[in-house]
Structure 1
Amino acid sequence: MKSFDLIFLGGGISALMVSRYLKLQNPNLKILILEKKIITNYNPGESTVGVAGLFLIRDLQLSTYCYLNHLPKNGLRYFFHDEQQNFVVEECSEIGSNILPIFPTFQIDRKSFDADLQILNQKIGIEIELGAKVTDLNINDDKHIITYKKDNKVYKSSTKWLINSLGRANNQFKIFDEISPKSLNQSLKTASSWGRFTNVSDIDLLGDKKWQKKVGFTSRYLSTNHFMGEGYWIWVIPIGKDIVSFGIVYDYKIIKEDLQDPKLFLNFLKSHPFCKLLIQDAQQIDFQCSPHLAYKRTQFAHKSHISFLAESYAFVDPFYSPGSDIIARQAYLLEHLINSNQKDLSNTIETINKYVDLELSIIQTLYQNQYLGFASFELFNIKSLWDFHSYTNRMVFNFYQEKFKDLNWIKREIDAGQSTLKLTKAIQTGFVDLALYLKENKIEKRYNLNQYSLRQNRFKIEEEILLNYNDDQAIIEHLNLCKITVCELLQVRYQYNFDKKIIQDQLNFSLIQNFQLNNTFLEKLLKKLVKTMSRNILSKFQQKLEVELQIEDFSLKVPQYFKNQSKEMQQFIYTLWNAKTPNPLQESFPKL
């Protein structure tokens, strides 16, 4: 019987990436991957973002391989249209960059990637058994014995750590559900259906020269393109060799059609005017679906030396291409576990489980009840700014600095976790409330035509991360981001000008954690403004006034209270009330 340090049950992308990382970190590790399939398949997980790109290049040493065998990705791109108007490609409102991203990412052909990584991993000493069907697990605290069958022969292997990387459908062994029960996440009512197509029309050839110039003649085709609608979004991802992946993710509380049926899936794609152009001459080569996407186990790691990777542990939502990102971070977390001595293991497990649970809770807020607003360019232009800039500023920066290797840093993240979660929930609830307001007033699509936003151009912060960025800068950047987001949400909701220095000066993390898109929050803000203006008047005029402000004053050049004051004071208040915001982040936005 052969003995291993780790055995991975399941040989998909999570097992292949994480095992490679651990083996490169410690070449002495003995690792076995057991995979029941003999050939690889097309699977989701084709689109990567910043953390995954770093992981592939820096940690897995796959830079040259990725560039030679997969497509470089041109960021994420979002299109909006208005069904009440005649469809014209060039008139769709769009959010997307006009430069290639600084941090490289890729569109992965999962069929070839998984097959190639099997070979590359075997070359560095990882043992992989294909066509291996696991028939029995003998679970013990110090050593697990795995029985599997291959080519009609029975084999046994022992391991200290057993890694469940079987993916979403891993119901064969009840022991896993006993030590870490799995349940559907009912807070997220999303389902999905997807498939691969050949002979898809080239999006770069659909529009005129002016439309192509908007993106600096970079390739929209190489982007992960999102076609946004009320209650759903459609992904279009090129994966090479004339194959393009199409998928629909939808909130089944809003979209009542049964898109789990392949014919209805195809009909839905054809009902979207942009997708109809793309697939008018295409042939579909496969179909997959899931009636409920979100679920979670209770524990990422268990004291009996068992851990659950990626979709074996949980899944939230594919909207921001998080799959390989999560795998990358979990590789670092698993490294802490396997390097922990027996004395410290229980504490390490507790820490890792707390962190993974916190991270999923934060990620969930990005999607919960958000699908109603996906039809609105106006709303999503604000949401995508906050979501992606905070991702780059916090997650990409922390991963770039390899902070996940520091268990003490992870503990500090846990300590700050509830504050982070509260702030994130406040901002995300603001997006939900704005979606409801726009929908109720039937104005959610008023900017869905002829708008183009460059807010996906995050080159300034990415350059800073590469050169000279630190935690203090990251905190200031995040506060500036929150200030802009709150003011823009208020501005759309109330149609008043909130782009004022005096307003943003009041917005600290404590106040933003309690942000609500309603009059109650504005009243709190007004109270802070009253104190600020009173202090300024006392300092300038040595005069103590009982300043009063009303919500309607946000629409005025000078608040009503000061109409009867001296001209000198009115001029002073005018300057104070209308000073523009010197927000460095806002000033960094690219201008068309």
Structure 2
Amino acid sequence: MTAAAQHDVVITGGGLAGLTLALQLKQQFSDIDVVVLERRSHPVPHAAHKVGESSVEIGAHYFDTVLGLGLHMRGAQLRKFGFRFFFSEGRRDIDAVTEIGASRYLSVPSYQIDRGIFENYLAEEAERRGVRFIDGATVRRIDLADDPRSPHRIEWTRGGETHALHARWLVDACGRAGLLKRKLGLAQPNAHECNAVWFRIGERITIDEWSDDPAWRTRCEPQARWLSTNHLVGAGYWVWLIPLASGSHSVGIVADPRLHPIEKMDSFDKAMDWFRTWQPRLFDELDGKRHLLQDFAFFRRFSYGCKQVFSADRWALTGEAGLFLDPFYSPGSDFIAIGNTYIADLIARDREGLALEARAQLYDQIYHSFYESTLALYTDQYALFGDPEVLPVKVIWDYTYYWGVLSQIFFQQRLTDVALLGQLRNELQHCQQLNFAMQDFLRAWSAVSGRRNPPVLLDHAALPWFAELNRSLTDRLDDRAFVKRLRDSATRLDLLATEILERATHDHPALEAGRLRAVLQELPAATLGDGPRESMLFAPA
């Protein structure tokens, strides 16, 4: 065994989470000594066998702006044409069902990411910036330091040889292997039980060609629905279609096992039989492309929590080594961005000789609060995914919460500004409780919904306030303006919740709404601007 060298930070796992953290650390501290140990040999294949190919605004902003990777994102990946939903269960006439999405690009970019291309680039970029990247390395043992002056010890093998490293900081980014999580007993289940299968096909799936109707085709400009993360939705499941820059297309089924057991889809042939029944137009598209199958995988019970992800004892977890929510709305890269930002700040404080205990504990609490708020979007909600009346309202609500609260905090670089977040504590808690109550209400509404499915585009670009909320992420705000922005977001959520409540109870007067009404009464009434208010929702079908 070679002698153990001393390093500032050792990151176990050189995938998306580990490599972006390494880049962030080198960006903040040019002299920091970072080693990344990656099990896979590089370069990895394009259309790599990984989920997490679609990004949304926080993750996209982290990649292109915070890490300075904009040239790669714009040149080597695909700009995403937003999210798009079709209520196409059992249908081949996709032009005759309700579609949710934007008719044009909104202001803030997001990307479809070929993980093979991206992770190869990240590894090369990390080495260019001075990170020591070791591929083909299998971590065999981790010994955490038992006092603040001692380093952690990491033992790893490569090519039959055993090596050791000493590190002041150890960050586990090894994904679901969960080395540090298992060692410390941090695994924590959650109440969201869902399964997923996915595969790649070596040819583009151009959903725009699924109809010859010129009126349907020209509803979007550009006529490039295929660049969206397309969701084919039904009760208890959704199917994703994600294009990759390598020319492949990623296809996945995510389902509540109470409605769609994984045993019905846990091989490619079974998944095709499932498509034949539930999404026959996609079956038609794929049936002649079976020979282009590139891979197939599945996860049971993919969602999980973690008791702790940041520690004052100079260790942390990032990415799927910590917790994972759900691929719906693509929050994975968002939580990498948030977690890495907290880890980088803790390392910065340690380098300055500052105490870490209170700050690490607070960051862990905030991170878990974000996790719990986002988890509520999914838990027991899959049954309403096939509802053309309620899911469009849920999507508006969920994105108003996301762009109005969490995205504002990240884009305005306030994640670590604990004093300012403390000033907004009441508003943030109110928004979280309102979101919990709204998710319950949406579920109850869907149970009595008529589920009308007219052939219409519910165009997010045609809602001026919604498009402006997306654009507002690019504003640069001082402290006072940021506080006002978050308080306005709380007000906007109250107004939107009130309108949702009124619409649902108008059609269904007996609908239970006690919890939602109670939360709406918690903060003093406020208004956004003067004059009469227009509807925030699409007109009912």
Q: 1:291 aligned to 266, 287, 300, which one? A: 300
If asked which structure has higher relative contact order (CA below 8 Å, sep 6+), I would say 2
Helix, strand or coil at the partner of 1:253: coil
- Deviation at 1:178? 4.6
Counterpart selection for 1:268 from 262, 266, 274: 274
Could you tell me the percent identity over the aligned residues? 23
Alignment partner for residue 194 of structure 1, among 192, 195, 198? 198
Deviations 1:530-558 (A, max 9, x none): xx9xxxxxxxxxxxxxxxxxxxxxxxxxx
Q: Deviations over 1:418-466 (max 9, x none)?
A: 433321111111111112222xxxx22x2x2312101366432233343
Which of 229, 236, 241 is the equivalent residue of 1:236?
241
Q: What CA distance in whole angstroms lies between the structure 2 residues aligned with 1:73 and 1:421?
A: 28
Work out whether residues 181 and 322 of structure 2, in 8 Å CA contact, stay in contact via their aligned partners in 1: no
Q: Distance in 2 between matches of 1:519 and 1:400?
A: 34
Max Rg structure: 1
Q: Is the 8 A contact 1:260 1:291 kept in 2?
A: no
Distance 1:463 1:10, change over 3 A: closer
TM superposition shift of 1:519: 6.8
Rounded Cα–Cα distance in structure 2 between residues aligned with 1:225 and 1:288: 20
Distance, in Å, in 2 between the alignment partners of 1:455 and 1:223 is 13
Amino acid at match of 2:152: H
2:347 counterpart of 1:335 = no
Partner of 2:285: 278
TM-score, normalised to structure 2, is 0.87
Deviation of 1:101 after TM superposition, in Å, equals 2.3
Tell me the equivalent position of 2:533.
Answer: 583
Answer yes or no: is the 8 Å Cα contact 1:194–1:246 preserved in 2. Answer: yes
Structure 1 residue 345 corresponds to structure 2 residue 356: yes
Tell me, yes or no, if the aligned pair for 1:80 and 1:377 is still in contact at 8 Å: yes
- 1:4-28 CA-partner distances (Å, limit 9, x unpaired): 1110111111001111111111111
SS at 1:482 equivalent: helix
What RMSD over aligned residues (CA atoms) do the two structures have, in Å?
2.9
Measure, in 1, the Cα distance between the counterparts of 2:346 and 2:108. Answer: 29
1:484 maps to: 496
1:349–1:136 Cα change, 3 Å: same
Change (3 A) 1:520 1:143: closer
Distance 1:156 1:521 in 2: 55
- Counterpart in 1 of 2:396? 385
Matches within 5 A, 1:44-443: 44-81=51-88, 83=90, 87-140=92-145, 141=147, 142-170=150-178, 173=179, 176-185=181-190, 187-207=191-211, 208-258=213-263, 259-271=265-277, 272-282=279-289, 283-341=292-350, 344-412=355-423, 418-438=429-449, 443=450
Aligned AA for 1:586?
A: M
Maintained 8 Å contact 2:89/2:232: no
Q: C-alpha separation between the residues in 1 aligned to 2:514 and 2:532?
A: 27
Name the CA shift for 1:454/1:591 in 2 (closer, same or farther; >3 Å): farther
Secondary structure in structure 2 of the residue aligned to 1:29 = coil
Q: For residues 500-519 of structure 1, what are the structure 2 equivalents within 5 Å?
A: 517-518=511-512
Shift of 1:590: 11
* One of 17, 22, 31 as aligned partner of 1:19: 22
Letter in 1 for 2:387: S
* Cα distance, 1:315–1:18 mapped onto 2, change above 3 Å: same
Seen in structure 2, the aligned counterparts of structure 1 residues 192 and 73 have a Cα distance that, compared at 3 Å, is same
Write the distance in 2 (CA, Å) between the matches of 1:179 and 1:42: 28
Measure how far apart 1:244 and its partner are: 0.3
Query: Matches of 1:485 and 1:417 in 2, distance apart?
Result: 16
Q: How many residues align?
A: 510
1:35 corresponds in structure 2 to 38
Q: Deviations over 1:290-333 (max 9, x none)?
A: 11011112101123211111111111111000011111111111
Residues 205-225 of structure 1: CA deviation (Å, up to 9, x unaligned) = 222221121113341010000
Unaligned runs of 5+ in 1: 498-515, 533-580
Q: Do the aligned partners of 1:195 and 1:247 also contact (CA within 8 Å) in 2?
A: yes
